[in-house]
Structures are given as structure tokens and as C-alpha cells.
A and B are shown apart, each in its own frame.
Chain A
Amino acid sequence: DTAVSQTPKYLVTQMGNDKSIKCEQNLGHDTMYWYKQDSKKFLKIMFSYNNKELIINETVPNRFSPKSPDKAHLNLHINSLELGDSAVYFCASSQGEGAGEKLFFGSGTQLSVL
């Protein structure tokens, strides 16, 4: 029983393409997140949604657009991919909205832009 699942696990694509990463959680959590982990292992928050509403939107290029059709899903669409977008993207969820809530991470999507 996967708690937070994201697909695909690997994504290799050319510069300029548009791609999406999907995320679903079956924990009944209210808040979902997208994190980016670069090659130096820094894990930085990109977005968070609470009950389908955007609550955190970090300084992320407009090419990145999250979409939450319901509180169990948070997808990430990326337009016009650039080399610098190559990283591992983690979806996560937590029970409440507070930053101190325990985060449950998906297995990650390794994005490689060629």
C-alpha cells in the first residue's frame, strides 16, 4: 500500500519540451507539496496546497504550474524545460497545514533534461 505515489520515476526529455509529473496520496492528508532536490542534495520547497488551495508558492519560474484537482492529488506541469530543471522532484504530504507536521515523501521523479 503506497502512501504517496508519484509517476513517472524517471523522465528523460529534450530541452523545450513540456512534461508532467503526477502525485497521489492515500493517507487522507490535507496538505501536499512539491520539493526539488538538486545534485548537491539541497531539498527546497516549490509549492504547497492545502485542501486544493495554494498556500506556498516559492520563487519558482512560471514554467512550473501545479494543479490540485482534489486534496489527494497534486500534479506538476513544466513548460519549456531547461537544462537547469534537471533534478529529483519529490511530492510529499502532511496531515495538517502547519510547517511542523511530519512530511511523507513519494519515491521521487528523476528528471533529466538533455
Chain B
Amino acid sequence: QKEVEQNSGPLSVPEGAIASLNCTYSDRGSQSFFWYRQYSGKSPELIMSIYSNGDKEDGRFTAQLNKASQYVSLLIRDSQPSDSATYLCAVIPSSASKIIFGSGTRLSIRP
């Protein structure tokens, strides 16, 4: 089982709709969770971090964490074409002091 799993997509969402990106992780003791956005041919950039169960909102982005289900998600409201990118889920497992990245979900916002 991979440490951090994401559906590779592509996930196609109409402009203005809510995009929902999901991520599961294997280490139940993981404490820190991140979402990075990576445009094609560019470097990843951090857009959200979450550390406790529940929702965390920042503008159009909401991160959701459910440690019991070992599940973290990212919701993007009012999706824009500029949101089209690959979204990388990242987790710090309890067993390591480094970030483990998922392989990313490619999101495409269609006009």
C-alpha cells in the first residue's frame, strides 16, 4: 500500500462548480497534512495545510481532515480555469521527519 494515495485523474469540473480532490494515507499516526498545487511545467506551491480534524477554509479553498478514516480532501469552490493544475497531497507520517507526497490529481476546469 502506498503511503499517500490519490486518484491521478484527470478530474474534469465545469467552471463555477465545486472541485473535490481526495487523498488517503496509510500511517494512522500522521499529524500534518498539506496540499500543493503544481501547474504544468512549474514547481509545486503550498496552498493549504491542516493539522486537526475538521475543516479549514482559506478563500475558495477548504481542506477537510478525517483522521479516523485516514482521509484528507481539498474542496475548491467557484472553480476557475486558472485552478487547472495537478494537486499534490502531502503527509508527514509519525514514523518519519520528512514529507511524503502523493502522485497528484490532475484537475481540469472546463469553461
Contact = CB atoms under 8 A, between A and B. Distances in A.
Interface of A: 40-45, 48, 56, 90, 98-100, 102-103, 105-108
A102 B44 CA distance: 11
B101 A43 contact: yes
Nearest to A106: B43
Contact of B43 (A41, A45, A99, A105): A105
B99 interface: yes
A40 B45 CA distance: 18
Contact of A45 (B46, B49, B98, B103): B98
Interface of B: 8, 32, 36, 38, 42-46, 49, 86, 88, 92, 96-99, 101, 103-104
Given A90-B44, A102-B46, A103-B46, 8 more contacts: A40-B103, A41-B103, A42-B101, A43-B44, A45-B98, A103-B36, A103-B44, A107-B43
A36 B49 CA distance: 22
A102 B47 CA distance: 10
A98 B99 CA distance: 10
Closest 8 CB pairs of A and B: A105-B43, A43-B101, A41-B104, A100-B32, A99-B97, A99-B92, A41-B103, A42-B103
